[in-house]
Amino acid sequence: MFEDRCKEGRELLERMKKPLIVNHYDCDGVCSGSLVKKGLLGLGKSPQNRTFRALDEEVLKGLRDEREIVFVDFGGSMGEKIEELLPDSKVLIIDHHQVKESKVLQVNPFLFGIDGGNELSASSTAYCVFGEPKLADLAIVGSVGDMQDPFIGWNRKVLEEGIKAGEITCEQDLRLFGRVSRPLISFLAYCTEPYLPGITGSEEKAAAFLGDVGIEVKKGENWRKYGDLNKEEKRVFVSGLVRHLYSMGRGNSARELIGEVYGLPKRPIGTELSDAKEFSTLINACGRHGKPEVGIGVCLGEEGAYKEASALLLRHRKALRDGIEFGSRAVEDYGKFYFLDGRGIIEDGIIGVVAGMLYSVISRDKPIIAIAYYEDGSVKISGRATAKLVKEGMNLSKLLHTATEGIGLGGGHNIAAGGKLEPNKLNEFLVRVGTELA
């Protein structure tokens, strides 16, 4: 049973002294890496973190001198390689990607028939290993970062434990980024998820919209935030947005405006850290712009880390805005899927996020495959689908795995997957994707 495996994992951690935590660089990777660090500190250990964009043989070879290693948010598919390359190390894998069992001890929901794609992130899996309610906030932030909300199954259990312990709140409200931390005008002007046609990208138009619906943007000297509005103002604001989106032919986005939001009342109120979604974007910004250690510092509440992360977030949001502006012009309809060529324009670290956000400007009836350059000139692939497509049988992990066979690497989740291609194999890859989807 999954619970027994979690207990085994915990027992192995208890036998470690100075483990090296090796985690993935995205939000879930950084949150799970931080959660494990916090948990281990609580057990009196002296852990350290190292963050990687991907786990491959090169990385494993570089870990040869490490005696105790915990892999988080990746490693599940590398069990045999780990055995071969790190035969003398004590190793635990905490992962939630589709995988097979090996001799290395692995805590992974997929090994127990639980869907790690939507029921447990690496962070909430790590939470289950420690079972410590104080760690529930990071578990939830990681799951939100992996787009697993609204929570079901095991995530729901973690959420409920967190609520009970006073670490998390949960309510129905506007789901837009910045609802707790951003003044209303920039809240709207910088909104990329969903993209608000006619508003996103322009402070002037955002201010005009607020004027139209009759909401005051300032109270005395202070710029108001969505969280400062009273109930009636919130209602007026949301229905104005819904009307706007429908008038622009974006009814799909309108339906996604409201949903479950998760608050973190023990983190500084009025900052990104008090809302799980904003927290997750902050962490993503750190990891994806080469500063995962700042993200870990934020998760652990270290001084100074938040300020540095905020600067990275500004940069991140500008890159996303530019990316989606470019993407909505450049995305092509390839029949069975959409294709976005972001090479030379969109950074590899955010191409997947941009691909996912494009669903607010393209129809949701087929998957999107986007590409960018890695620093070494090879091609990064990111695939995104929708929950509805997955329900109808779409499996992007399988698709990318098959379509890259012999010419690259690919895998991940049903709904979001990634890969890497040798530079001159793009045409072959695209033809294969088309064939697989036919």
Q: What is the smallest separation between the CB atom of 122 and Mn ion, expressed in angstroms?
A: 4
Q: What is the smallest separation between the CB atom of 234 and Mn ion, expressed in angstroms?
A: 32
CB-nearer residue toward Mn ion: 24 or 244: 24
Q: Which stretch binds Mn ion (CB under 5 A): 63-71, 139-147, 183-191, 298-306?
A: 139-147
What is the Cα–Cα distance from 389 to 368, expressed in whole angstroms?
Answer: 11
Q: Which stretch binds Mn ion (CB under 5 A): 146-154, 257-265, 284-292, 395-403?
A: 146-154
SS (H, E, C) 227-264: HHCCHHHHHHHHHHHHHHHHHCCCHHHHHCCEEEEEEC
Q: Which stretch binds Mn ion (CB under 5 A): 24-32, 205-213, 303-311, 315-323?
A: 24-32
CB-nearer residue toward Mn ion: 95 or 275: 95
Q: What is the smallest separation between the CB atom of 96 and Mn ion, expressed in angstroms?
A: 6
Considering only 22, 60, 63, 73, the residue that binds Mn ion (CB under 5 A) is 73
CB atoms within 10 A of CB 344: 7
Considering only 28, 66, 167, 278, the residue that binds Mn ion (CB under 5 A) is 28
Q: Is residue 193 part of the contact set for Mn ion (CB under 5 A)?
A: no
Kind of pairing between the strands at 90-94 and 105-107? parallel
**Cα 176 to Cα 220, 243, 246, 294, 361, distances in angstroms:** 25, 16, 17, 24, 16
* Total chain residues near Mn ion (CB under 5 A): 4
Residues 198-257 that bind Mn ion (CB under 5 A): none
Considering only 22, 40, 91, 122, the residue that binds Mn ion (CB under 5 A) is 122
Residue 362 phi, psi dihedral angles, 5° rounding: -115, 165
**Cα 33 to Cα 10, 72, 122, 224, 269, distances in angstroms:** 15, 6, 9, 35, 24
CB atoms within 10 A of CB 88: 8
CB-nearer residue toward Mn ion: 154 or 337: 154
Considering only 68, 119, 137, 146, the residue that binds Mn ion (CB under 5 A) is 146
CB-nearer residue toward Mn ion: 21 or 245: 21
Q: Which stretch binds Mn ion (CB under 5 A): 118-126, 152-160, 226-234, 420-428?
A: 118-126
Joined tokens for residue 345: 């324009």
373, β-bridge pairs: 379
CB-nearer residue toward Mn ion: 19 or 145: 145
CB-nearer residue toward Mn ion: 122 or 189: 122
Buried/exposed 106-117: b ≥16 CB within 10 Å, e otherwise: bbbbbbeebbbb
What is the Cα–Cα distance from 272 to 181, expressed in whole angstroms?
Answer: 6
Instruction: Kindly state the greatest CA–CA separation across the chain.
Output: 67
CB-nearer residue toward Mn ion: 143 or 360: 143
CB-nearer residue toward Mn ion: 108 or 192: 108
Residue 358 makes CB contacts below 8 A (sequence gap 6+) with: 324, 327, 328, 331, 338, 340, 368, 370, 384
Q: What is the smallest separation between the CB atom of 25 and Mn ion, expressed in angstroms?
A: 11
The CA angle 423-428-429, to the nearest 5 degrees, is 75
CB-nearer residue toward Mn ion: 70 or 122: 122
Q: Which stretch binds Mn ion (CB under 5 A): 143-151, 205-213, 297-305, 325-333?
A: 143-151
The CA angle 265-266-269, to the nearest 5 degrees, is 60
Q: Which stretch binds Mn ion (CB under 5 A): 75-83, 144-152, 243-251, 277-285?
A: 144-152
Q: Which stretch binds Mn ion (CB under 5 A): 22-30, 52-60, 85-93, 285-293?
A: 22-30
CB-nearer residue toward Mn ion: 191 or 353: 353
Q: Is 411 left (phi over 0), alpha (psi -120 to 50) or beta?
A: left
Where does this chain bind Mn ion (CB under 5 A)? 28, 73, 122, 146
